[in-house]
């Protein structure tokens, strides 16, 4: 998805919110229209649990709650709060148990291309994809890739593979909110989207000199 499309979608969503009763009550909820009883009841009435998509998905995490509140208010989040959310996310990062960050880049490429998983119609016993290419350019000169996130072409070539870079990249994939409280990147580890092995494979895709990210 391209950045412009996302903004159009977000604007459309804000328009819908602006028209509902939740807005009037939002002041008493610290300005978050998603938290009002009326908005929550609209959600509960309009969504039905199906397959693995249960209604607990409507419950925002503290980070999602605070980020949508400031997004809605059109105000920057106070630095103290973003720092706190980032350090909480950082404390939750689980690094590879065997100390090895890199798996198989070929498996990583399939994961980066795969946008399946977590929907009610997906088999919950099958591993989910990472859908990295929906937001990032990872392979040079392929116009089908998205640009919501920065280009990752030549990632390993440009950054090297020091312990610090390996840890940073793992942390980004595990829970991007550790580096940017209101990051738009899914928290692949913290929200159990990818397994430890899958994250290692995607890491190898970014780092391996032979992967299409670096060999181009
Ligand atoms: C929904 C969009 C989205 C998806 C899907 C996504 N990312 Fe991101 N990613 C971003 C954004 C946006 C940033 C920029 C930083 C931020 O906003 O926090 C980013 C930043 C990064 C960074 C840090 C880049 C830097 O210059 O330091 C890495 C590495 C990364 N993403 C890897 C991945 C990998 C690997 C996947 C798939 C497993 C993935 N991303 C999936 C949106 C996404």
User: What are phi and psi for residue 50, nearest 5 degrees?
Assistant: -145, 125
Distances (CA, A) of 141 to 162, 205, 216: 28, 17, 9
Q: What is the model's pLDDT at position 134?
A: 97
Q: What is the model's pLDDT at position 7?
A: 33
CA 27 – ligand 1 centroid, Å? 33
Are residue 67 and residue 109 in the same domain, yes or no? no
Are residue 195 and residue 115 in the same domain, yes or no? yes
Are residue 188 and residue 117 in the same domain, yes or no? yes
Low-confidence ranges of the chain (pLDDT < 70): 1-31
User: Would you state the torsion angle of the CA atoms of residues 73, 29, 11, 174, taken in this order, to the nearest 10 degrees?
Assistant: 90
54 within some domain: yes
Q: What is the model's pLDDT at position 30?
A: 61
Q: Residue 153: which CATH number?
A: 1.10.760.10
Distances (CA, A) of 105 to 3, 6, 94, 201: 27, 29, 21, 5
Q: What is the model's pLDDT at position 31?
A: 66
Evaluate: CB of 172 within 6 angstroms of ligand 1: yes
pLDDT digits (tens, 9 = 90+) for 109-121: 999 999 999 999 9
Evaluate: CB of 108 within 6 angstroms of ligand 1: no
163-174 and 196-207 helices cross at what angle (nearest 10)?
130
Evaluate: CB of 188 within 6 angstroms of ligand 1: yes
Print the domain residue range for 170. 105-207
Residue 50: strand pairing partners? 53
pLDDT digits (tens, 9 = 90+) for 124-152: 999 999 999 999 999 998 889 999 999 99
């Amino acid at each position: 998805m391209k950045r412009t499309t996302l903004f159009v979608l977000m604007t459309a969503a804000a328009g819908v919110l602006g028209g509902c009763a939740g807005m009037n009550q939002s002041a008493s909820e610290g300005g978050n229209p998603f938290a009002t009883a009326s908005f929550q009841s609209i959600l509960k009435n309009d969504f039905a649990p199906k397959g693995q998509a249960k209604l607990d998905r409507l419950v925002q995490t503290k980070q999602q709650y605070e980020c949508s509140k400031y997004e809605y208010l059109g105000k920057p989040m106070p630095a103290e709060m973003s720092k706190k959310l980032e350090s909480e996310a950082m404390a939750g990062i689980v690094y590879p148990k065997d100390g090895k960050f890199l798996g198989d880049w070929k498996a990583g490429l399939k994961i980066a291309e795969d946008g399946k998983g977590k929907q009610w119609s997906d088999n919950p016993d099958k591993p989910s994809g990472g859908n990295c290419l929906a937001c990032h350019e990872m392979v040079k000169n392929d116009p089908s890739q998205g640009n919501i996130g920065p280009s990752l072409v030549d990632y390993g070539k440009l950054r090297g593979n020091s312990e610090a870079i390996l840890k940073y990249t793992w942390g980004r994939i595990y829970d991007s909110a550790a580096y940017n409280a209101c990051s738009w990147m899914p928290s692949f580890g913290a929200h159990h989207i990818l397994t430890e092995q899958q994250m290692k494979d995607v890491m190898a895709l970014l780092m391996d000199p032979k992967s299409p990210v670096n060999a181009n």
